Amino acid sequence: MAHENELNLKATELRLGLPGTDESEDMVSTAKNNKRASPESLEDSGSEANSAAKSGDHETSSASKTQIVGWPPVRSYRKNNLQSKKAESETGMYVKVSMDGAPYLRKVDLKVYNGYPELLVALENMFKLSIGEYSEREGYEGSEYAPAYEDKDGDLMLVGDVPWDMFMSSCKRLRIMRGSEAKGLGCAV
């Protein structure tokens, strides 16, 4: 319950940043930074790690870990190049979902789903509505709602037309449309 509240706050938080970015981005840029951490933080992290370990209940959650310079011992080239890939793929994965008429937006992690059916079921549960089944010809005929998404070019597209992998890499945000607007999208022209 508390977790969900936290998510909501984040979704409505006013801040500078690209849509879909979250805390993990900060960690990425810290690691990319070749400058040494200041001596104080280095000592802190060292002793923190030591004392926590000795007390035997060390947690390895990435968000709470202090960055230790040079640990794990991975070459900078590898750190910089592997991480940038991960960061790219992570930007696309958590996307905002808006529903026409809803007071606030939600966020979903596309990586969690193996395909469209799972995603649609999740959206149906999240917004308490029924979307129905996709058909190439009719779109989401029979449903008051149509799931749409904004792609890399900023165009509003119907969810379901392209292969899942392609959808995952091009989807920037989701929008659940309703009523006559949806009808317009859903019909094959």
Partner 1 sequence: MRSFQSMLNYFPEEVLEHVFDFLTSHRDRNAVSLVCKSWYTVERFSREKVFIGNCYAISPERLISRFPRVRSLTLKGKPHFADFNLVPHDWGGYVQPWIESMAKGGVNLEELRLKRMLVSDESLELLANFFPNFKSLVLVSCEGFTTDGLAAIASNCRFLRELDLQEIEVEDRRGQWLSCFPDSCTSLVSLNFACLKGEVNLASLERLVARCRNLRSLRVNHAVPIDALQRILMQAPQLVDLGTGSFGQDPDSDSYNKLETAMQQCTSITSLSGFLEVVTARCLPAVYPICRHLTSLNLSYAAGIYSDELVKLIRHCNKLERLLVLDTIGDKGLGVVASTCKELQELRVFPSDIHGGNAAVTEEGLVAISAGCPKLNSILYFCQQMTNAALIMVAKNCPNFIRFRLATLNPTIPDAVTMQPLDEGFGAIVKSCKGLKRLSVSGLLTDQLFLYIGIYAEQLEMLSIAFAGDSDKGMFYVLNGCKKLKKLEIRDSPFGDVALLEDMGKYETMRSLWMSSCEVTLGACKTLAQKMPRLNVEIINDSDQMEASDDDKQRVEKMYLYRTLVGPRKDAPDFVWTL
Task: Tell me the Ramachandran region of residue 132: left when phi exceeds 0, alpha when psi lies from -120 to 50, beta otherwise.
Answer: left
Contact code string over 50-89 relative to partner 1, x by CB under 8 A: x-xxx-x-x-xxx--x--xxxxxxxxxxxxxxxx-xx--x
Tell me, residue by residue from 12 to 51, as one string, x for binding to partner 1 by CB under 8 A and - for no binding. Answer: ------------x--x---x--x-x-xx--xx--x--xx-
CB of 107 to partner 1, least distance (A): 18
Q: Which of 177, 158, 180 has the alpha carbon at shortest distance from 167?
A: 158
Output the six-digit token pair for 57.
């209940």
Which tokens belong to 49?
């790690």
Contact present, 126 and 176 (Cβ < 8 Å): no
DSSP 96: E
Rg, C-alpha atoms of the chain:
21
Q: Which is nearer to partner 1, 154 or 163 (CB)?
A: 163
Binding site for partner 1 (CB under 8 A): 24, 27, 31, 34, 36, 38-39, 42-43, 46, 49-50, 52-54, 56, 58, 60-62, 65, 68-83, 85-86, 89, 163, 165-166, 169
